Each structure stands twice: as structure tokens, then as C-alpha cells.
Chain A
Amino acid sequence: MKVLVAIKRAVDYNVKVRPNSDGSGVDLNNLKMSINPFCEIAVEEAVRLKEKGAVTEIIVVSLGPQKAQEQVRAALAMGADRGILIKIEETIEIEPLAIAKCLKIVCDEEKPDLVLMGKQSIDGDNNQTGQMLAALARYPQGTFASEVVIDNGSVFVTREIDGGLQTIKLALPAIVTTDLRLNVPRYASLPNIMKAKQKPIREITAEELGVDITSRVSIVSVSAPVGRPEGVKVGSVDELLDKLKNEAKVI
């Protein structure tokens, strides 16, 4: 069984970003970049399935600038077998629909049995690409997965939904998007980081795939959210309850 994992290069989750000075975009200069955390969980899940013997090959794919090769290498060091980097210019913000169209072409070529993706990229907070790829590739979708069990041509996915958990059964090939509790990603060992340097990464461009990546939704401006007025420290439970009752009037 072949698994395709789509990963995104994104600002590290510990970094607090700010708008740039003219409010036209987000200032990403010199910030630490990582694999989007949900994508890392997707890679980990693929590697675990391979270790269990359910999967024979793991391909990672990323759309991004040349530098996204670092994230593809990091995924190879975690245990993926080969990489595909679909290059776009660093200044271009590519949207979920265009990304899904590129990934659809990769799916047509590679014919994976399972596609693992993150539920959400923590920069754009879209939560769309997996669902869109599923529509375009005509795959069933299991979003927000906290458990994935492969069973005889199907995959059982436990989904984290608003009211609790939902289990669905999908015929393969299918798309699964990961939630945080699916697993805890491993750190790559030094020998595996060395080995990853020898693993192949195919590089192509979005134009070569023939996908129109023009944005449909343009950013007019960005701003910092309105800050909250400074609060106070209270010295006792009585002071707190008094303020909640008489000042804030919320109890």
C-alpha cells in the first residue's frame, strides 16, 4: 500500500507573527520555519503504518519555495521514502483550491491508496485543502482524525467532532486529515537525518503541472487584532468576586 503525505512549510508554532509596516501582509523575515504541526502528525502516522507493515511506500509532497526542501528532508528523516517538491515563487501565496489542484495531479500520477494531510495549516488557518483534494480526486474524506485503522481495503477513521467522536468507514483510496491527538511525532535520529540526504526529491513547478494558481481571494490588508485594555491583579477571592459582581457585573 502506498501513502502520499502532503506537508506545508509554515512559521513555527512558537513564533508570534506581526503585520508588516504597511499592513499589506505578514512579516515573515527571519522567522523560524517548520513543518506545519498537523502535517508532521500526518508523516508520523504514515511511518507508523509502515512500521506495522500496512504500508510499503511513503511519498511526501510539498508546494512551496525552494526552501521547502528543508521540510521535505525533515519528513524523509522521519521515515518517508521519497519526496516531491512543487516549486512556487516565495512571494506567491498559493490558495487551498490551487494546492488541491496540484495535489490532484500528483494523485493521478502516483495513485496512492491513502492520502494523509493535516487538518489545518497554522498560518492560514484554512482547514480546506484536504476536503478540496478529496472533492477533486473523488475520494471519500475522513477529516479531523484521532484514530486511523486500515482494514481490508477500507479505513476506519475516528473523527473529533464538536459533540465528541464520530467513526466512519471509507473505501480506499481515501483522504484522511489529522487532528492533534492522532499521535505524537518522533524526533528524527541522527543516522536517519544522514540517510535522508540520500533519498530522492523530485522537483517540478506548478506551471509544469499546468495548474493556474492565480488567487481567487486576494488580501486587501492585514492588521493586528484590537488589544485588550490592561487588567488588574486582585489580592483575594473576596476582591475577585466583588469585582465580578459590582464592577464587571457578570455574576
Chain B
Amino acid sequence: MAILVIAEHDNRNLKTATLNAVAAAQVLGDSIDILVAGFGCKTVATETSRVPGIKRVRLADNKVYANQLAENVAPLIAEIAPEYSHVLMSSTTTGKNIIPRAAALIDVQSISDVITVEAEDIFRRPIYAGNIIATVKSNDVIKLMTIRTTAFNIAASEGGSAAVETLNSIHDFEKSEFIRNDLAISERPELTSAKIVISGGRGMGSSENFGLLEKIADKLGAAVGASRAAVDAGFVPNDMQVGQTGKIVAPELYIAVGISGAIQHLAGMKDSKVIVAINKDPDAPIFQVADYGLVADLFDVMPEIDGKLSEYTS
């Protein structure tokens, strides 16, 4: 049967995370539709129609979907879900907000954070902060799930020419209202898709000291992340938190600076290809997952790395 992927976007551009969900859908089958619900988002539909292998793009363009409020988008998904065997969305804050609401509307138990598709009804997902991997079997007729983006490749985005079909259903719950977004603006790559991530913890000591990491990040084209302790201390904003309850990242290279390595932090980064830990405490648990550990005071070695980096990257 057909598979539906829910697009995530800002009414202008498709979010890359959608392409990870498309990759998961491709494991399940080849009859894939994508739902684009938004307002003034025809360019997103056009962009989506170029994703190779998509049967059709279903476009619901109405002001009630402008901010992808779960109250309005979930019933739209519930309305068309019976046409599909699987409904997938990436496991971003938007996906986590919408999918369970849609699932309850059609009386199915959704599955969060799928990391592998074993069979049409069997999936694997991490639980207990990633300390356990559960293999689960869904007995629901329609399977709704969110996809952990770091576990799937980014599907190709160019070369296809799917038909764009308009959906005219309008679901307006009316009891919730979007007021505003305060989005962090950064020139650096996005945390969840960057090839290199440098994260700082409580050991950074202050917001200004994060500058030490930013300088290096800019030379490497890296994103900057943080532990919860660094966010709580107000050094950096919440959207930089990596971990069980923050963002999940799996870059080629993850550099943890002044981070002890609590299980909740490890849950967000231990699938990185190469992990470097810099910490002055030789017994810090972060060293247990690090490929390369440097026991040192970060205030000595970060400026040194910054100074010497060009010798090694040229």
C-alpha cells in the first residue's frame, strides 16, 4: 500500500529532515506521497515535487495551516491516513507535536524515533536514553511514526517531477493561536545536519568563553552545540542542547569540550562517527565513548587548537 510522508517546512523551503523521512519511506515501499500543509507554500510543493520517486505531492494551502499547528494539521492527516499503510514524519519538535495527536484521532499507537525498518510492521527504536534498543511490532492497520533523522540518509532532492494535487479540506480547531517565533539566527550549519559539531559544557564557564569554540567551528565549518548544564547556566540558548531531551546529532566528528558525559548527553551524540573529548578530569565518563581523549584544561588547549588548526587542514 501507499506511504505518506508529512513535509516539514517554513512555507518557503522544505526542511532537510523531511528527506530523512523520505529515505525511511523508501525502505518500506515505492509508492510514496508527500503532504505539504501550509500557507502560501506553493514553492515548497514545487520543491517537493522534484524529490525523485514521489508519486504525488498533496498540497493543503490555507491560512489555518500557516504555522503547522497540531490542532489543525493532525485532523488533516487523520482524514487522509486511511489511504495509506504508513504515515511518516521526521522526529523533530514539529513531528513530535503533530504525529501523536493524529494517531489518537484515528485510534492508533504511533511509534516514536524509529531508527531502522526491519519489516513492514517491525521497527527498532531507542528507549531509556538510548541505553536499550527495542524491536517493536505494530499491530495497527495504519502505522504512524516519527523517524530519527540521524539514522537515515538524506534522500535525493532533485530529478523527480511528481504531480501536485490540491487538498481543499480546512480543519480549524480555533482554540489555539500562533503568537510568534523567536528563532535563533546563525551563519553556521544546522546542528542536526552539520558534518562536525563542537559542543561545550559547564566547563566553558561563560557565554563569552563559547567564543573559543565558535572560532574553531568557523574554521571547520562546524556547528556549535552544548550540554544542558551550559544551557541552564545561560551560556547559550536552548536550541543548542544536545541529548536525550535536546537534539540528536550524529556527525562525522563530535568534539565535547568541558562536558562530563552524563547518560542524557551521550544519548544525543554517541552515534557520531568520531568522538573527541577534552576534559581536565581523567575520570570523566565522556572518555568512555571518546575515540580520542585529551586530558587538559580547555582554556589552554582550545586557543592552541585554534592556532594550529590551519597547519592540519590545509
Residues of A within 8 A of B (CB): 11, 13, 16-19, 26, 38, 95-97, 100, 119-120, 122-129, 131-136, 139-144, 146, 156, 159-171, 174, 179-181, 215-225, 228-229, 231-234, 236-238, 240-245, 248, 250-251
Contact = CB atoms under 8 A, between A and B. Distances in A.
Interface string B224-248: 0000100110000111000011010
B142 to A, nearest CB: 11
B220 A162 contact: no
23 contacts: A17-B128, A95-B109, A97-B109, A127-B100, A132-B101, A134-B70, A156-B179, A162-B247, A164-B181, A166-B182, A167-B179, A167-B180, A168-B69, A169-B179, A216-B140, A220-B135, A221-B134, A222-B132, A233-B282, A241-B309, A241-B311, A244-B292, A248-B274
Determine the main DSSP class of B at the interface with A.
Answer: mixed
B134 A234 contact: no
Contact of A160 (B70, B177, B239): B239
A126 B91 CA distance: 11
B112 interface: yes
Contacts of B122: 220
Contact of B177 (A136, A168, A217, A242): A168
Contacts of A219: 134-136
A168 B126 contact: no
A229 B228 CA distance: 26
Given A122-B129, A244-B274, A250-B252, A165 B182 contact: yes
Nearest to A236: B294
Interface string B124-145: 0011111111111111100000
Contacts of A223: 132-133, 135
B129 A131 contact: no
Nearest to B135: A220
Contacts of A170: 175-177
Given A124-B127, A223-B133, A141 B70 contact: yes
Contacts of B107: 97
Given A95-B109, A240-B292, A17 B238 contact: no
A79 to B, nearest CB: 23
B139 A135 contact: no
A133 B104 CA distance: 8
B301 interface: yes
Given A13-B264, A168-B69, A180-B228, A216 B109 contact: yes
Contacts, number: 260
B293 A16 contact: no
A243 B292 contact: yes
B131 A179 contact: no
B31 to A, nearest CB: 24
B109 A237 contact: no
A179 B231 CA distance: 13
Interface residues of B, number: 90
B97 interface: yes
Contacts of B312: 241-242, 244-245, 251
B132 A19 contact: yes
B291 to A, nearest CB: 4
Given A135-B102, A220-B137, 13 more contacts: A96-B109, A100-B104, A134-B101, A135-B103, A143-B96, A165-B182, A170-B176, A180-B232, A219-B134, A219-B136, A233-B295, A237-B305, A248-B253
B275 interface: yes
B130 A126 contact: no
B33 interface: no
A212 to B, nearest CB: 11
A155 B130 CA distance: 34
Nearest to B173: A140
B109 to A, nearest CB: 4
B183 A163 contact: yes
Contact of A163 (B74, B113, B184, B308): B184
Given A128-B110, A234-B294, A161 B136 contact: no
A219 B128 CA distance: 14
A161 B93 contact: yes
B293 A250 contact: no
B250 to A, nearest CB: 12
Given A220-B122, A237-B304, A131 B132 contact: no
Contacts of A163: 181, 183-184, 239
Contact of A222 (B135, B252, B274, B287): B135
A166 B274 contact: no
Contacts of A140: 71, 173, 175-176
A248 B71 contact: no
Contacts of B291: 228-229, 231-232, 248
Contact of B109 (A19, A123, A217, A225): A217
Given A244-B274, A250-B273, A231 B287 contact: yes
A140 B97 CA distance: 12
Contacts of B48: none
B293 A231 contact: yes
B54 interface: no
B94 interface: yes
